[in-house]
Amino acid sequence: MRNIDDSEDLVLAEAAAPTKTIDVRGLFCPEPVFRTKIEIDRLGIGNLLKVVADDPEAEEDISRWVKRNGHELVNFAKEGKDLVFVIKKVK
């Protein structure tokens, strides 16, 4: 395991920082997927979109949409009742 100094940590964190964040809490299927699609369409290739949802169905719905549309789910986390996705626009 290599040691990374603070400046490298900062560069890595900035590189992984989402280009845009959308909050779709309180919305239910299919609205979180629709809004995710709209925002991904607005981003450039390689950019990251962070989506925060609280609809339990969003975990499967958004993950499936990302895979089906050829994008990359960079990270997924459950934070209490929130579901947090970081999606990379691939095409």
pLDDT, residue 25, reads 98
The reported pTM is 0.82
The boundaries of the domain holding residue 44 are 6-88
Domain count across the chain? 1
Residuewise pLDDT in 10s, the chain (91 residues): 344 445 444 444 445 689 999 999 999 999 999 999 999 999 999 999 999 999 999 999 999 999 999 999 999 999 999 999 999 999 9
24 is catalytic: no
Alpha helices in 1-91 (DSSP H): 6-15, 31-42, 58-68
Q: Which CATH number characterizes residue 29's domain?
A: 3.30.110.40
Options 27, 29, 74, 84, the catalytic residue? 29
Query: Does residue 32 sit within a domain?
Result: yes
For the chain, the distance separating the N- and C-terminal CA atoms, rounded to the nearest angstrom, is 34
Residue 62 lies in a domain: yes
Tokens of residue 69, six digits: 């549309």
